[in-house]
Structure 1
């Protein structure tokens, strides 16, 4: 036959039960976690880090778009359950924390659903794609000031190099100037990152650096100015070739140069921090040097803080410590990205 039509009886509600792979192990007081979105980044970064932090985290469920990918990841990383339905996690009273690593356009909605279900949330950046989504998250915490912990995956502030920089900056007496360069590398214009699912590279990745500016200054952003290239073709895009400057209430000025026009053979990220007669140079999260003062750090590999951010979140959830990133800073970083996008889209 050229065509086969399959029909099914009507059901009040279609459900997708979780697939149990093995008998669940005792949690032993660890944070019971569900991962939603088992893509390349989650499997290459978050899941290995959770294994390293197994004394703190108990991975219970992996949710992915297809049952095959969910089950494959669950078997590989030792999760007893796999599922394709996010609601499975929301309805599970044993889940303490939901780690959301889906495509960007799903982040805010899933975050709100999990928070309303009483789950703590770690959501990869961006926290939200637009002002309406961010306003809903703000409204949730206005109505629930003692609600679950929310943490956006702004990992760079937790990197060893940035921790060392903050020690040098702890007793500063002047504002600082921070020049940050992101040699991001070219991604074709038809890639999902640039479309409705990704939101573009300023909102999707630039927010990392705006949060880092918040962390370094420890101050409140008061003014944002941005300017992009004016491309003659559709090959180069405005929102991955721009300068953004943020002025803070303490007088500091932080500038991000974000570009896709450089060579991938050149280092991706560098920051120069000018303050109190010193120059702190952060070189691709491999080392921090301090000219005119003491301190610094050097590693054997690039360390961007992904494992450290999960360790900090565990400290909060297990011991009642302060949030690893304040709600205000998460909102500030996200809102800066919106203002930059507005200015460079002109």
Structure 2
């Protein structure tokens, strides 16, 4: 299938081939018939992409400070690489979609194949959307009219916040698509409406919809509003304009009566004058998109609806209300259509909205496929290099990685930031043959495949697992899928490299152990290579530190300070089901690092986190974890999200035998007390990703021991669970030694064979 993407680096708009997304729980798969270009929002994205780096920086000053802080801590080269990688990721355009349901996911009862639906899906031939972001279209509503559902709901939500009543006088400031839809909705509400805009054509269109109008280029809008309101001042103003100016808010305050209401739906300057609001006791509110539920992952992604008795108008119910208004002919959005384009000519549509020719509602009409073509649209595995569109052929493509390093034909599942910025480059530097990149939505896999010269992208995980040519699977997905995908890959006889964490709970960990033991038994003592992405132990400075510590035969003390930085409370990583929390999800890195440097097993774990009476919304990302080791050593991991981002993220100190080693952010290391070693500094960070992947690929090719003993990976994972338990109960958790299992025996046997 094809989808419209826009480059943040160049502003170029492309129509590209991507795999059809896989439908998940609570989702529906929709074949698009019509989609509406939101000229205001999408024009801003295109213009941002076309802007120079200097102009991009000017528009996002907060990001500039983040970049400068990263330069201080990580160095110039990694920072520039991260910025370039971010800009190299094209974004999907569009959020006003109409189509026919092709397939429904588990747990979906409200929709069935064949239903016509309006949704916030992007401009693509097939979209996958959560059910709470869809609404059925009444038979009497055309596809073109229904395409205005989502955009009209933005204006409708602003009206709900303004709470107009029959006969009230309202001003709509800005007569773009949302503004004109708002005019119609207010008229249907029984309000008197005054529309303001600089465009004579849009002013005239508002007049045809029954509004009184005023051309902003012809005089004082405040005087016009006072005359319109019979000298009393208007009851409310809905600002649907898009401008950097503060004037729309200032004018709105001047034209309101005492205790009038102002609702901002668009994007304007917000330097407010206290006097404007104080003297009249005006209310001012910013409206959030389509309504309650927006940006709430529980509502949008997990499908948990708000009770109608408490939240009458959610996003989905606003969609339904818009469609009902269109069906009853109380509003007619087709009046807003100015241009129609075939989907094949979508790039021309973006040239139009970016140019000087006037436009308003721009529709993209999708071809009606034959029955055989419907199956083509739903293809979930694409040979990327062979299916490039004309627009993408002109772009320079990276050369595919040559050679099957160590005999491994690799599939990478997951194409997020970590996979594309760290893992895939590490495999390519080791000349690995990456045959396929997979992601559930298909788009991110296609973008990564195109970027790195991988020939195949897919959203079909099952076919990937069944592919006998693929010997190795890399799992780089969200944490809650690690254990399941690892077990599936092991059962399919694949070698597995799974990004940390290995598992989120004891049950998942037990399932992995059982699966590996069963596979190993079936292989007569030989199982696939299983590795977890504990990369820091492979960093060159850590390797040097390990060799220094090997000279010391007495207990050691380790202090690991992690300036983790805050992640928003609603981020999935904090969700115990989806992410497991930051200690299990990321803190395991540092538990593993201390376990590696000490070289003996963990015997107890004690942890403390912010108390329940603290003001912190998230407590378990501000923790101190103390590990006791079998040789009498101990180590403390201070995992803290309440620091400042300009300070180094990771600092390790080791004290032993009258000697000290300090490592700062994997760039600067100094040692005191060693006669032949003083310091080891790097121009840029090296946290061991490339060396870790090299060790894994060598193990795969030789069928030798895994880079990290499997029992050790299990021990570290269990220690992360113990840290969370200890922090909650304030008890010391004692870690009993594990009984030798097939895992240990297999690893020991592999070491003997390698020797």
TM range (shorter): over 0.9
Partners of 2:534 and 2:592 within 8 A in 1: yes
For residues 67-126 of structure 1, the C-alpha deviation after alignment (integer angstroms, 9 at most, x for no partner) is 222222111111111110211211110111111110000000000000010000001100
TM-score by length of 1: 0.92
**What does residue 61 of structure 2 align with?**
none
What RMSD over aligned residues (CA atoms) do the two structures have, in Å? 2.3
Q: 1:202 aligns with which of 583, 606, 624?
A: 583
Shift of residue 142 of structure 1? 2.9
Partners of 2:606 and 2:727 within 8 A in 1: no
Partners of 2:100 and 2:113 within 8 A in 1: no
**What does residue 427 of structure 2 align with?**
50
**What does residue 713 of structure 2 align with?**
330
Q: 2:562 aligns with which of 179, 182, 185?
A: 182
How far apart in 2 are the matches of 1:66 and 1:233? Answer: 39
Q: 1:103-142 counterparts in 2 under 5 A?
A: 103-142=478-517
How far apart in 2 are the matches of 1:27 and 1:288? Answer: 36
**What does residue 671 of structure 2 align with?**
290
Q: Is 2:537 the partner of 1:157?
A: yes
Q: Is 2:656 the partner of 1:275?
A: yes
Partners of 2:380 and 2:442 within 8 A in 1: no
Q: 1:316 aligns with which of 674, 699, 702?
A: 699
SS in 1 for 2:620: helix
* CA 18–4 in structure 1, closer or farther in 2 if over 3 Å, else same: closer
**What does residue 146 of structure 1 align with?**
526
**What does residue 148 of structure 2 align with?**
none
Q: Is 2:690 the partner of 1:307?
A: yes
Shift of residue 307 of structure 1? 1.1
For residues 3-57 of structure 1, the C-alpha deviation after alignment (integer angstroms, 9 at most, x for no partner) is 9764659xxxx99642123479774763111010001111111122222221xx1
Q: Is 2:381 the partner of 1:18?
A: yes
Partners of 1:59 and 1:78 within 8 A in 2: no
Query: How many corresponding residue pairs?
Result: 340
* CA 328–191 in structure 1, closer or farther in 2 if over 3 Å, else same: same
1 or 2, which has the higher helix percentage? 2
* CA 247–61 in structure 1, closer or farther in 2 if over 3 Å, else same: same
For structure 1, list consecutive stretches of 5 or more residues without a partner in the other structure: none
How far apart in 1 are the matches of 2:465 and 2:561? Answer: 40
* CA 93–40 in structure 1, closer or farther in 2 if over 3 Å, else same: same
How far apart in 2 are the matches of 1:110 and 1:192? Answer: 19
For structure 2, list consecutive stretches of 5 or more residues without a partner in the other structure: 1-33, 35-97, 102-111, 115-374, 387-399, 730-755
**What does residue 41 of structure 1 align with?**
418
**What does residue 173 of structure 1 align with?**
553
**What does residue 214 of structure 1 align with?**
595
For residues 145-181 of structure 1, the C-alpha deviation after alignment (integer angstroms, 9 at most, x for no partner) is 5211110000000011100100101121101110110
* CA 243–29 in structure 1, closer or farther in 2 if over 3 Å, else same: closer
How far apart in 2 are the matches of 1:256 and 1:181? Answer: 6
SS in 1 for 2:436: strand
**What does residue 407 of structure 2 align with?**
30
Partners of 1:34 and 1:89 within 8 A in 2: yes
Specify the structure having the higher radius of gyration (Cα): 2
RCO (CA 8 Å, sep 6+): is it higher in 1 or 2? Answer: 1
TM-score by length of 2: 0.43
* CA 314–4 in structure 1, closer or farther in 2 if over 3 Å, else same: closer
* CA 256–114 in structure 1, closer or farther in 2 if over 3 Å, else same: same
How far apart in 2 are the matches of 1:41 and 1:231? Answer: 33
Shift of residue 344 of structure 1? 1.7
Partners of 1:123 and 1:153 within 8 A in 2: yes
Q: 1:263 aligns with which of 644, 666, 682?
A: 644
**What does residue 439 of structure 2 align with?**
64
How far apart in 1 are the matches of 2:591 and 2:526? Answer: 26
Shift of residue 184 of structure 1? 0.5
Partners of 2:476 and 2:499 within 8 A in 1: yes
Q: 1:85 aligns with which of 444, 454, 460?
A: 460
* CA 280–4 in structure 1, closer or farther in 2 if over 3 Å, else same: closer
* CA 104–232 in structure 1, closer or farther in 2 if over 3 Å, else same: same
Q: 1:207-246 counterparts in 2 under 5 A?
A: 207-232=588-613, 235-246=616-627
